[in-house]
Amino acid sequence: MEIFEEVSLCYRDGPKVYVPSGLLHVDKEGKKWLRLRASNVGIAKLILGHLDEFKNLQNPSLAASPQLKVLMDLVKEAVKSVAEGDKSGEEASMFDDSSKEAPHMKPPCWKQLFHDAPETVTIQVGEVQVPVKTPRSLKETDLVIPLEATILTAVCDYIMEDASDCLAKGQKRQYNQTGKYAKKIAKEEAK
């Protein structure tokens, strides 16, 4: 006998979305967290699914969302401010980008900041304080937030403030051909 527990979410009377187990995380205390992966179709359907334009999208994604990028920048700033709060005196000036006193000191080493940061940091989203799991590196783009209705609603509302880039048809990454075949094609086109 196998027993499965499924999590389904619905935002603004949109479609009910079953969250895959890969996007759910349970911490040591038993608290559930949701990984907002911008490229996941289910997450895009959760946030954008209530819009009429969503039905015409071929590959829905939140990767182009400027609001999601702002949230990730807030997380990075929160990690940096926590690190600055822990440092004092001469060490704190290392983290100050505007400091001209010690030109030999390097700007913050993000790898070390993320390593030394606490497990969660808090950001302000609208009027809600949102705890966020600290990313493991600067390149990590998933936002990991608690699986709670008020927090999820605040984050989704913030992302919806500017979702026009996510709904644009034909929005794709630019492809640049490289390699020996690209050079061959370029020579043929030049003739």
Which tens digit of pLDDT belongs to each residue from 101-158?
444 445 557 777 777 888 999 999 989 999 999 988 878 889 999 999 999 999 999 9
Residue 1 domain flag? no
* Beta pairing, strands 17-19 & 24-26: unpaired
Domain count for the chain: 1
pTM for this model (two decimals) = 0.74
Alpha helices in the chain (DSSP H): 41-48, 66-86, 90-93, 110-116, 149-160, 164-167, 180-190
| Residues of the domain holding 13 | 7-190
Residue 2 domain flag? no
Give me the pLDDT at residue 17, please. Answer: 94
Residue 153 domain flag? yes
Q: 128 - beta bridge partners?
A: 125
Residue 113 domain flag? yes
